[in-house]
Structure 1
Amino acid sequence: MNPPTRITIIGSGFGALSSVLEIRRRDANVEITLIAPRAELHYLSGIIWIPCGLRPREQLIVPLANFFKRMQVRHVAAEVTGLRDGGRVVETTTGEVGNDALVIASGGRFIKKLPGIEHAITPCEGIAAAEKIRDRLRAMAGGPIAVGFAGNPNEPGAVRGGPMFEFLFGIDEQLKRESRREKFELVFFNPSKEPGQRLGPKAVKYLLAEMEKRGIRTHLGHKMQRFDADRVVTEGGEFAADLILFMPGMTGNLWFDQTELARSPGGLLQADAQCSVVGTQNIYVVGDSGSFSGTEWMPKQAHMADLQAAAAAENLLAGLRGQTPNATFKVELICIIDAIDHGTVVFRNPRRQIILPSSRLFCWAKRLFEGVYLRRYR
């Protein structure tokens, strides 16, 4: 009897877990090993609700032991340090893991080169960062708050701007609920004059109009120079900030440097339309780790990672069976920009863009989706 086919998945985020589901739906017999430091999913989409108290950390951390058991997944609690033998061996902090096919879904890494960036909080670094925002807001009696993001100059698509709009509008609404909004000045900053282009031109116009309506000042179109403890400094001037929330651009994981995998100009793994890492055999990439050929505005979000995971699973199994991998994924953005009690729907694909203005219904729809999405892993 031939030994079972061995598939290794690196990561435990949206792309990695979707890859587990998609592979297992197509093949009940392959051996799946997942490498990640912890058997946990951190639902980062929900950290926008931590500052206002709608979510404690316990509700956003999903233990994966039961999911792994149901999906017959072997978990290796380790960090990846490199690859060898053409990717057939994954080197980790606890030893080597062999495979017949590999899915890399280990996310991206924020570029922290801006001088003084230690003075800013990067929300999407995780739950602890959102808790820090919550605690800082509670301690503040008033003053200026700056919220902004930037991209990777060598990788225009490697940016996570959407959550920053949610933190901005969420803080504005939270301070209003606490009857102390008038004691604060909110400033949104971005090196682009039209921030959020991944969401589409209609969304940019809508979001800037929403800021004006809420009395949020903007500082746009100026390259950032540095952060001080109490201010943001750009080529177009500086402004005071007692609290700075900043999302830098993204690049690849440090362990990518210990491999011969093809890289994009911005440091991500270069992938084709089938999610295969260029120049490799049976190595696929899903989610933030990859730079994919196709639409320039391809978003970095969980929904996109799920679509890529389905294509990667189909192609990976086809390749192992000696078939030609030809599955592709659609490029599509779907998000609800949440502001605690209202939400705005943004949809975009290569043919159309739709904006559904702020509604309480969409806010509740986002929370309902959270429950439905996480149920598969609980």
Structure 2
Amino acid sequence: MARIVVLGSGFAALTAIRTLRRQGVDAEIVVVSPRDTLTYLPSLIWVPPGLRSAADLTLPLAGFFARHRATWHQGTVQRVTDGGRRVITDTGEIGNDVLLVASGGRFLKRLPGIEHALVPCDGLPPALAIRDRLDAMAGGSIALGFASNPAEPGAVRGGPMFEFLFGLDTLLRRQKRRDSFELVFFNPSQQPGQRLGPRAVTGLLAEMRRCGIRTHLGHKLVRFEERQVVTEGGAFDADMILFLPGLTGPAWLEGSDLPRSPGGFVQADATCRVPGLERVWVAGDGGSYPGPDWMPKQAHQADLQAVTAARNIAAELAGRRATARFRSELICIVDTLDAGMMVFRNPWLNLTLPRLRALHWAKRGFERHYLREYRSAAG
């Protein structure tokens, strides 16, 4: 029986496992990750206002693995060798007949003084820290911003930072504390969020003006200090800094056999195959793919890539050609805690909807739908 090794247990990994079984693949599946839990990262924005707790967003995966006949190997990947056939972890080595890299990306924490900033999408601890620090503040300045990977400008995750920005504005207004706080949004670009499309950027900047949010745009970041953001266009004070750096690939790629893109990701083609290697595939944020410059690093795109990779793996195991290609598609609801602004983009259409209350509830409904399988599997 063939052995498929899946690196990671996030969105792309779990979607790939589910798709493999739906495609009738009866191979052994081994999942390599440090934890057998899923943290639902899109809802971290609701932790500071108390709409979600750590328990709400952390789902055990033992039931899901059992349902899909997948074995969990607890371990952290150190490197991949032998053309992808051998995975070396801190708890042992695992051979495979098929390798799927779905271990996600990581934030580039190289900016001097980055330790003075909270990285909200780095998991539950920073989201909880934002909640606690905000509760302890009587007033002051909060700076929020994001940046990209200079070697691969598309490797950026800006949408969540817009959500934290508008969510904090709404929360402070609800608490009748907004007049005691200054919110400052900063970005090296004059037009932040360009992957969303020009109408979306115009709308987001207009919403910032409407909410009284100050902007500091178009200046390269130099460093963070304990209570200051320093850019080439000047510095400004900040009692709390929230920042999303650009993304790069997993650290274990150093010393591994897999080809890398300029930005440090696993190189992939439109079928999610890693070129030059046999039976090695990649899905999700850890890969660099051909496509439009606006192609997002988000869970929805990771799911689309995971389905494609799984279908191609199934085809090859059945002796067929692997011809499936993923589609490039961006779907984003920029939640404001009481409403939302939606952006949809594919190669033919770029649609932007203004701030609507129904979109907040649509986002909450999607969370419930997406997590239903994992919650039911957990019993």
- Say whether the fold is shared (TM-score over 0.5): yes
d(CA) in 2 for partners of 1:84, 1:237: 46
Match of 1:80 in 2: 77
Match of 1:121 among 118, 122, 131: 118
Match of 2:51 among 49, 54, 70: 54
Q: Map residues 144-163 of structure 1 onto 2, 5 A cutoff.
A: 144-163=141-160
Runs of 4+ in structure 1 deviating by more than 4 angstroms, as ranges, are: none
The one-letter code of the counterpart of 1:16 is A
Q: Map residues 193-204 of structure 1 onto 2, 5 A cutoff.
A: 193-204=190-201
d(CA) in 1 for partners of 2:294, 2:357: 28
Match of 2:337 in 1: 340
Match of 2:229 in 1: 232
Match of 2:367 among 350, 367, 370: 370
> What per-residue deviation string (whole Å, max 9, x for no partner) do you get for residues 240-264 of structure 1?
1000000000111110112121111
Give the superposition deviation at 1:164: 0.1
> What per-residue deviation string (whole Å, max 9, x for no partner) do you get for residues 206-250 of structure 1?
100000000000000000001111110000011110000000001
Match of 2:10 among 8, 13, 20: 13
Which is further off, 210-219 or 22-31? Answer: 22-31
d(CA) in 1 for partners of 2:342, 2:324: 29
User: Are 2:176 and 1:179 equivalent residues in the alignment?
Assistant: yes
d(CA) in 2 for partners of 1:297, 1:215: 28
SS of 1:329 mapped into structure 2:
coil
Give the superposition deviation at 1:157: 1.2
Match of 1:269 in 2: 266
User: Are 2:60 and 1:63 equivalent residues in the alignment?
Assistant: yes
Contact 2:260 2:267 in 1 (8 A): yes
User: Are 2:317 and 1:317 equivalent residues in the alignment?
Assistant: no
Match of 1:109 among 100, 106, 109: 106
Give the superposition deviation at 1:88: 1.1
SS of 1:376 mapped into structure 2:
helix
Specify every segment of 5 or more residues in structure 2 that has no aligned partner in the other structure, as ranges: none
Specify every segment of 5 or more residues in structure 1 that has no aligned partner in the other structure, as ranges: none
Which is further off, 85-94 or 131-140? Answer: 85-94
> What per-residue deviation string (whole Å, max 9, x for no partner) do you get for residues 97-154 of structure 1?
1111011011111111111110000001001110000011001110111000000011
Give the superposition deviation at 1:321: 3.0
Give the superposition deviation at 1:360: 1.2
Match of 2:288 in 1: 291
Match of 2:129 in 1: 132
User: Are 2:269 and 1:246 equivalent residues in the alignment?
Assistant: no
Give the superposition deviation at 1:162: 0.3
d(CA) in 1 for partners of 2:195, 2:284: 16
The one-letter code of the counterpart of 2:326 is F
SS of 2:254 mapped into structure 1:
helix
Match of 1:167 in 2: 164
User: Are 2:180 and 1:192 equivalent residues in the alignment?
Assistant: no
Q: State the identity as a percent.
A: 58
SS of 2:229 mapped into structure 1:
strand
d(CA) in 2 for partners of 1:283, 1:376: 28
User: Are 2:218 and 1:221 equivalent residues in the alignment?
Assistant: yes
d(CA) in 2 for partners of 1:258, 1:285: 18
d(CA) in 2 for partners of 1:131, 1:309: 30
Give the superposition deviation at 1:316: 1.4
> What per-residue deviation string (whole Å, max 9, x for no partner) do you get for residues 310-343 of structure 1?
1101111222333221110110001111011101
SS of 1:166 mapped into structure 2:
helix
The one-letter code of the counterpart of 1:132 is A
- RMSD, aligned α-carbons: 0.8
User: Are 2:26 and 1:25 equivalent residues in the alignment?
Assistant: no
SS of 1:179 mapped into structure 2:
coil
> What per-residue deviation string (whole Å, max 9, x for no partner) do you get for residues 46-79 of structure 1?
1000000000000000000111110111000111
d(CA) in 2 for partners of 1:259, 1:323: 29
SS of 1:226 mapped into structure 2:
strand
Length, aligned pairs only:
375
Match of 2:301 in 1: 304
Give the superposition deviation at 1:173: 0.4
The one-letter code of the counterpart of 1:275 is C
Question: TM-score normalized by structure 2?
Answer: 0.98
Match of 1:42 among 39, 42, 47: 39
d(CA) in 2 for partners of 1:84, 1:259: 6
Contact 2:25 2:314 in 1 (8 A): no
Question: TM-score normalized by structure 1?
Answer: 0.98
